[in-house]
Structure 1
Amino acid sequence: MGKYILKRAVLAVMIIFAISLLTFIVLNVIPGDVVAAMLGEFASKDAIETARHQLGLDVPLPLQYLRWLQGLVTGNLGTSYFQRKAVLTLILQAFKYTFVMAIAAYIIAIVIGLLFGVLAAVYHNRMIDRILMSLSIFGISAPSFWIAIILQIFVGLKLGWFPVSGVKSSVWWVLPSFSLGIRSAASIARVTRTSMLEVMKQDYIRTAFAKGISYPRIIFFHAFRNALIPIMTILGNDFGLLLTGSMITENVFNIPGIGKLLIDAINRRDIPLVQGGVIYVAAICVLVYFVVDILYAVVNPNIRLTKEVN
């Protein structure tokens, strides 16, 4: 088990390093001078050169990357060109908003997704199955910004149940959390249904019925437990995506989270902030996938043994 974890950890570090290099190259080959954009069109050439020297942009790109990589290892992601604050500080400030919304949306997605998926599998090919799967198709197909706007118009403005913009108290999180969690709930429901139906065809499930074990016990302690592997995949992926922030949802509801922070940084071409944001997103995704891999090995030891043999 230790060897398996070590391999996954080394792979995770290599992935983050590759993403950091690719991000740095892409951001620095884009046409345009960020310093000229910062100082304005009337800035003198001397002022631009002085600013470039102060920002460390007058050295070769490989040296710039090595300096940035050194800062990354020590936790220093640089300073935002426009906000004049440490990138790490800005990311942490935005993270608390994204984290709250992600947790709320994740709880909504898990409860609705697992409930709909299990019910659809239990009542396979019946009316409730068709209704729930139709709703899940709608949830997957509908764009998140459209769901957010519909909730704002009907639930927020017409019914007046919840605020439609900003985050001043827990009530303000309801609409953005639902709009963000609906798509994940739909995906979880479909995967849960498919996995449950596959497991319920197995011989040991029929044997459990033949022994007279109660139906709820068979569903939740036999079928659901053995259907967890593919469900864990979608649960892990969705949690990683939610923690990285939803650019559209955060902008629609005016939430100062990671998504909105990255959108603003990209529009301004705030390179240190964009690089820090991309590394944050990469680190969250890699960490979540790493944890999911470990959980795979815990739930199904055959996965661990196969990896170790290879």
Structure 2
Amino acid sequence: MKSGAGAVKKLSERATPYLFIGPAVILIVLLAIVPLAYSIYISLLNYNLSLPNSMIRWTGLDNYKYMLTNGPFMKSIGWTLVFTFFTVLLNVTLGMILALILNNEKVSRQTKIFKSLFILPMMLAPVVSTTMWKIMFGAIYGPINYLFESLGLQAVAWTGETLPAKIAVILIDVWGATPFCMLILIAALQTVPKDIYESAAIDGANRVRVFFKITLPLTRNFIALVVSLRVMDALKIFDSIMILTDGGPGDSTETMGTMIYKTAFRYMNVGAGSAGAIIFFIIIIFVTLIFMKLIRNDRQ
């Protein structure tokens, strides 16, 4: 009896970890693995929502060839990467500047209200914030063009010309995402021991030297975290493009996300849209791996 009870107890001890992680594994499989596998399967079919199911047939890699030779889709890849580079650069730079200002003991007491104001963009849904900016960027009645004309400058067709449209999209993302970077970097700055700054001040180091020789090295891991999160988020930009420009003028602000959506649901070509989504997924993995390798080499 004792040996039987011991065996049961031993079996229960072995099974306990699997019981705890089981629900999480099941959810991951159902919500991530299964949809991904189904998307891969659909990407290998000639699947068009405007045609009857009897027209669905196996086409292999034809959808991938179509997307990779599709001029607008390839153009959207380039613009997505450019958008990601500039927005992440501005996010981290402005976030660090604001973090340095708000972390300063002499300034922090007088700027408590500003911390709350800076966080407000994070509290708004992307749809709401982009709609607000769309009104502000209005060509005729927009407050921004009114300000330009008041200063004697020419009004800008923010959504009617390629360069202004791209600048507008970048500004919206910078406005919405910089507070997140600022909060993480404020927390990073507070982990730096104050006695190191005091020692540097005694040695006569100026603020610029202190920043590059002390602050940056000691907050490098936090900066890497912020950059990696923002890169992955910026690559998936969708809401602001669809609301502000709908990919226009022409297809100049189309991103991978908007092109995949339009291919699958506007043009009803679900097979090609799924192939584009898989290509998008591979690009995100590739960019993330390159970034992680650069961080690892930098640490070494």
Normalised to the residue count of structure 1, the TM-score between the two structures is 0.66
SS in 2 for 1:126: helix
Q: CA deviation at 1:254?
A: 1.6
Q: CA deviation at 1:92?
A: 0.7
RMSD (Å), alpha carbons = 3.1
In structure 2, C-alpha distance between the alignment counterparts of 1:131 and 1:288, rounded to whole Å: 38
User: How many correspondences in the alignment?
Assistant: 244
Quick check: 1:162–1:174 contact (8 Å CA) kept in 2? no
**Is residue 145 of structure 2 the alignment partner of residue 165 of structure 1?**
no
Deviations for 1:232-268, whole angstroms, at most 9, x for unmatched residues? Answer: 1111221232233x22111112213222212223425
Q: CA deviation at 1:154?
A: 2.2
Q: CA deviation at 1:175?
A: 1.7
Quick check: 2:96–2:182 contact (8 Å CA) kept in 1? yes
Gaps of 5+ in 1: 1-18, 41-47, 58-66, 80-85, 302-310
**Is residue 218 of structure 2 the alignment partner of residue 226 of structure 1?**
yes
- Bigger Rg over Cα: 2
Q: Percent same amino acid among aligned pairs?
A: 11
In structure 2, C-alpha distance between the alignment counterparts of 1:189 and 1:158, rounded to whole Å: 29
In structure 2, C-alpha distance between the alignment counterparts of 1:172 and 1:114, rounded to whole Å: 26
Aligned residue among 161, 181, 186 for 1:188: 181
| Distance change >3 Å, CA 25–CA 237, structure 1 → 2 | same
Aligned residue among 55, 58, 71 for 1:56: 58
Match of 1:263 in 2: 261
Quick check: 2:39–2:274 contact (8 Å CA) kept in 1? no
SS in 2 for 1:198: coil
Normalised to the residue count of structure 2, the TM-score between the two structures is 0.68
Superposition map of 1:65-80 within 5 A: 67=60, 71=61, 77-78=63-64
Q: CA deviation at 1:219?
A: 3.0
Corresponding letter in the other structure for 1:140: M
Quick check: 1:120–1:128 contact (8 Å CA) kept in 2? no
In structure 2, C-alpha distance between the alignment counterparts of 1:129 and 1:293, rounded to whole Å: 35
Deviations for 1:37-73, whole angstroms, at most 9, x for unmatched residues? Answer: 3236xxxxxxx64x33xx417xxxxxxxxx4xxx4xx
In structure 2, C-alpha distance between the alignment counterparts of 1:110 and 1:131, rounded to whole Å: 22
In structure 2, C-alpha distance between the alignment counterparts of 1:136 and 1:284, rounded to whole Å: 32
Aligned residue among 46, 50, 56 for 1:38: 50
Superposition map of 1:116-195 within 5 A: 116-123=98-105, 126-127=108-109, 129-156=111-138, 157-159=141-143, 160=145, 161-166=155-160, 168-195=161-188
